[in-house]
């Protein structure tokens, strides 16, 4: 049977390791799971599908524990046996969405208990339990307690109503607007299962470049149909709000957020939306950025705009996620500075149900960026981090890039906002500044492709995003380990090499696209191939020369005090470290500094030689990845093996194109030879 990757990491093929299989079969003998609410039904179905696949058994159901090896599942509310277990203290500690999995004697029998304060918490526990089996863990003495560290774990779909996806590379939008609400594609349920399995609890259905039509009744009916499918899986639906909607669909003359008529319009709109979707999550807004309308059109600021919408949603418990990715018509001396400049003065001015959503870095989802200086700089406002799961700037769904390492690098960065240890993770999980709400947003890489993400390894980015939104402190290595086991194989001979390949894959791309802190050197607008030579576009900050600033003397963007002084936006310890090229981590060197071609790097090589070396290393790494992958032939199903093999060949070709283009282009400035020993670029 062809393996098309549709099942993602929720593959429940029969366990072939006889020892593991036997031990599971003795430990899992009956299911005690009461109730039939939609969420309980989802748990039951997942378990039965999972266990009949993995163990090849149809688990008998009972209403109470009758034998050794019972799986006792539920909340104290829906299960009298669980209520009698006296787990109150542990349950108190895990919050609404957390879960416990414990080996306990119940009615004298060894049982595995999966419990939580809510049915969705139980569902998360069920997925976790299945993962233990998928990854061949010992389940004899379980004592697992897990709760999400962030309250809002959200996918952002940049999906348009015509089903095109902005920066989406895996087919069209999953949402079949034309057929909704009458036809419910079973794929919506599989989408919800996949998200619930990693704890994602919200989805923004529409593009941040918003279309106001989605909040008209004709579409709200369709939105409701999707929300109804997702609800049992703990997933709330959110929409993007087009700021000019009162004018475009409401017939008002203005969208001024301080205008009483505009406020009344949004209040009524919220009332209407909640009639369709009683647990509607709220709005995500891109305003006054890249031509989108916003409060500044009326001389108001971001807080005025966000607060108006927040007030409309507050009676229903909805939130506003207001994006900080802003740049306007005035081309700045340095675009990297604009968000901080506009938002820091507004700290403390936002309503309690507003989160400001900040991209991981200050420019735009580059293969590598230093962390955004807003993190830590708005202590009175809950900040979300926005990651891009879709690989707009990392080779689309053609190049293999395991992005967990990028996410992790950002989350682990120390802002020094409150002294050492003030990491981005602590800012966004709310612990640094004691916020009650917190969140992470990931721009989805999912579409109608059979395997959802185009590249089979794109699935790992969806997966790792969800895992990090649940726990931003978990390591990329641990995530890769479980993902590989669930997706490909438990055999060490597969797990170890694939893990190494994944963990180094993003650095390979940095090297062949934008080493040493270079950034935004892409071909015009499509952001795929190389275009370091791009100039003379409508805006200077849409060109590559604006970012690399190469000339006969040197290369790099000077963001120190003698340049744009973007460094002044970081806290002193970071600022000082990055300001000095000798202490600035070399991966950010040309992000912050314009340096002469003969500047000496840590390796002893000069800047030109070091740059060339990185470009060549990038291509070499791709060749290494190919070698590793080729060695796995026969250990991975033939279909996915061949697919990845072909994609890696394309990637090698394109890595060479990147390397040669950049090296030859920059050579026109450096006027230095390619050091000996490298193959000739052409």
450's CB contacts (< 8 A; 6+ apart) are 4, 5, 6
Q: CB nearer to ligand GCW: give 386 or 408.
A: 386
Binding of residue 109 to ligand GCW (CB under 6 A): no
Burial pattern 476-512, b for ≥16 Cβ within 10 A else e, equals beebbbbbbbbbbbbeeebbebbbebbbbbbbbbbbb
Binding of residue 392 to ligand GCW (CB under 6 A): yes
CB of 534 to ligand GCW, least distance (A): 14
Binding of residue 209 to ligand GCW (CB under 6 A): yes
Quote the CA–CA distance of 265 and 271 in Å, as a whole number: 10
CB of 286 to ligand GCW, least distance (A): 5
By CB under 6 A, the residues from 567 to 596 that bind ligand GCW are none
CB of 674 to ligand GCW, least distance (A): 33
Exactly one of 157, 231, 236, 286 binds ligand GCW (CB under 6 A); that residue is 286
Quote the CA–CA distance of 531 and 518 in Å, as a whole number: 13
Quote the CA–CA distance of 410 and 376 in Å, as a whole number: 13
Exactly one of 208, 225, 516, 636 binds ligand GCW (CB under 6 A); that residue is 208
Q: Which two tokens stand for residue 399?
A: 């190049």
Q: CB nearer to ligand GCW: give 256 or 364.
A: 364
Binding of residue 159 to ligand GCW (CB under 6 A): no
Nearest to 502 by CA among 465, 470, 458: 458
CB of 325 to ligand GCW, least distance (A): 5
Binding of residue 325 to ligand GCW (CB under 6 A): yes
**Residue 154, phi then psi, degrees to nearest 5:** -125, 140
Exactly one of 3, 4, 68, 166 binds ligand GCW (CB under 6 A); that residue is 166
Q: CB nearer to ligand GCW: give 157 or 467.
A: 157
Q: How far is CA 451 from CA 170, 447, 459, 487, 636, in A?
A: 8, 9, 8, 12, 16
Q: Tell me if 609 sits within 8 A of 663, measured CB to CB.
A: no
Q: CB nearer to ligand GCW: give 388 or 404.
A: 388
- The angle that helices 476-487 and 458-470 make with each other, rounded to 10 degrees, is 130
Binding of residue 99 to ligand GCW (CB under 6 A): no
In which residue are the tokens 């283009």 written? 661
Quote the CA–CA distance of 451 and 149 in Å, as a whole number: 29
Nearest to 56 by CA among 15, 2, 23: 15
Q: Tell me if 605 sits within 8 A of 613, measured CB to CB.
A: yes
CB of 323 to ligand GCW, least distance (A): 7
CB of 388 to ligand GCW, least distance (A): 7
Q: CB nearer to ligand GCW: give 365 or 666.
A: 365
Q: CB nearer to ligand GCW: give 112 or 445.
A: 445
> Could you give the residue numbers annotated as active site?
290, 364, 392
Q: CB nearer to ligand GCW: give 162 or 576.
A: 162
> What residues form DSSP beta bridges with 91?
none
CB of 360 to ligand GCW, least distance (A): 12
Binding of residue 167 to ligand GCW (CB under 6 A): yes
Exactly one of 9, 12, 124, 158 binds ligand GCW (CB under 6 A); that residue is 158
Q: Which residues bind ligand GCW (CB under 6 A)?
A: 158, 166-167, 208-209, 286, 290, 325, 364-365, 392
């Amino acid at each position: 049977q062809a393996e098309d990757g549709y099942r993602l990491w929720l593959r429940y093929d029969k366990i072939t390791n006889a020892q593991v299989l036997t031990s599971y079969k003795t430990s899992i003998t009956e299911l005690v799971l009461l109730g039939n609410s939609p969420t309980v039904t989802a748990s039951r179905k997942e378990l039965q599908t999972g266990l009949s696949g993995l163990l090849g058994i149809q688990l008998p159901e009972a209403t109470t524990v009758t034998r050794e090896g019972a799986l006792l599942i539920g909340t104290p509310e829906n299960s009298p046996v669980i209520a009698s277990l006296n787990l109150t203290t542990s349950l108190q500690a895990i919050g609404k969405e957390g879960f416990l999995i414990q080996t306990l004697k119940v009615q004298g029998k060894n049982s595995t208990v999966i419990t939580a304060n809510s049915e969705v918490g139980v569902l998360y526990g069920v997925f976790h339990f299945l993962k233990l089996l998928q990854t061949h863990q010992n389940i004899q003495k379980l004592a697992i307690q897990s709760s999400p560290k962030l309250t809002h774990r959200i996918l952002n779909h940049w999906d348009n109503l015509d089903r095109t996806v902005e920066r989406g590379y895996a087919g069209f939008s999953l949402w079949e607007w034309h057929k909704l609400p009458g036809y419910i594609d079973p794929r919506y349920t599989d989408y919800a299962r996949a998200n619930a399995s990693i704890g994602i609890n919200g989805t923004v259905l529409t593009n941040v470049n918003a279309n106001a039509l989605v909040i008209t009744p004709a579409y709200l009916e369709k939105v409701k149909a999707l929300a109804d499918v997702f609800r049992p899986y703990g997933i709330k639906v959110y929409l993007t709000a087009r700021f000019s909607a009162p004018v475009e669909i409401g017939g008002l003359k203005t969208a001024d957020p301080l205008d009483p008529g505009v406020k009344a319009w949004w209040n009524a709109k919220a009332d209407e939306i909640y009639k369709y979707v009683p647990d509607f999550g709220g709005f995500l807004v891109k305003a006054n950025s890249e031509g989108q309308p916003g409060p500044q059109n009326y001389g108001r600021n971001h807080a005025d705009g966000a607060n108006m919408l927040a007030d409309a949603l507050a009676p229903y418990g909805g939130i506003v996620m207001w994006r900080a990715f802003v740049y306007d018509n005035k081309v700045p001396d340095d675009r990297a500075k604009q968000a901080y400049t506009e938002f820091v003065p507004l700290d403390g001015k936002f309503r309690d149900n507003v989160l400001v959503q900040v991209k991981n870095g200050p420019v735009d989802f580059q293969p590598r960026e230093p962390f955004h200086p807003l993190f830590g700089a708005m202590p009175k406002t809950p900040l979300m981090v926005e990651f891009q799961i879709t690989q707009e700037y990392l080779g689309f769904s053609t190049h293999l890039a395991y992005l967990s390492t990028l996410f992790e690098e950002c989350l682990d960065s120390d802002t020094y906002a409150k002294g050492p240890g003030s990491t981005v993770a602590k800012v966004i999980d709310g612990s640094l500044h004691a916020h009650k709400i917190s969140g992470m947003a990931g721009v989805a890489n999912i579409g109608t492709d059979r395997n959802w993400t185009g590249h089979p390894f794109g699935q790992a980015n969806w997966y790792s995003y969800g895992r990090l939104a649940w726990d931003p402190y978990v390591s990329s290595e641990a995530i890769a380990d479980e993902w590989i086991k669930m997706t490909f194989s438990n055999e060490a001979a597969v797990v170890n090499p694939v893990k190494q390949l994944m963990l180094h894959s993003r650095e390979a791309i940095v090297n062949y696209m934008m080493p040493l802190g270079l950034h935004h050197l892409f071909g015009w607008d499509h952001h795929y191939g190389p275009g370091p030579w791009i100039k003379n576009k409508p805006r200077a900050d849409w060109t590559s020369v604006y970012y690399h600033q190469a000339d006969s003397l040197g290369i790099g963007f000077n963001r120190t005090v003698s340049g744009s002084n973007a460094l002044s936006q970081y806290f002193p310890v970071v600022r000082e470290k990055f300001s000095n090229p000798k202490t600035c981590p070399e991966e950010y060197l040309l992000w912050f500094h314009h340096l002469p071609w003969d500047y000496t790097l840590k390796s002893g090589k000069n800047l030109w030689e070091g740059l060339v070396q990185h470009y060549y290393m990038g291509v070499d790494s791709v060749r290494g990845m190919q070698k590793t992958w080729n060695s796995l032939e026969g250990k991975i199903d033939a279909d996915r093996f061949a697919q990845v093999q072909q994609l890696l060949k394309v990637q090698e070709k394109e890595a060479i194109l990147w390397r040669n283009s950049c090296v030859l282009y920059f050579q026109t400035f450096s006027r230095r030879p390619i050091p000996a020993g490298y193959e000739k670029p052409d």
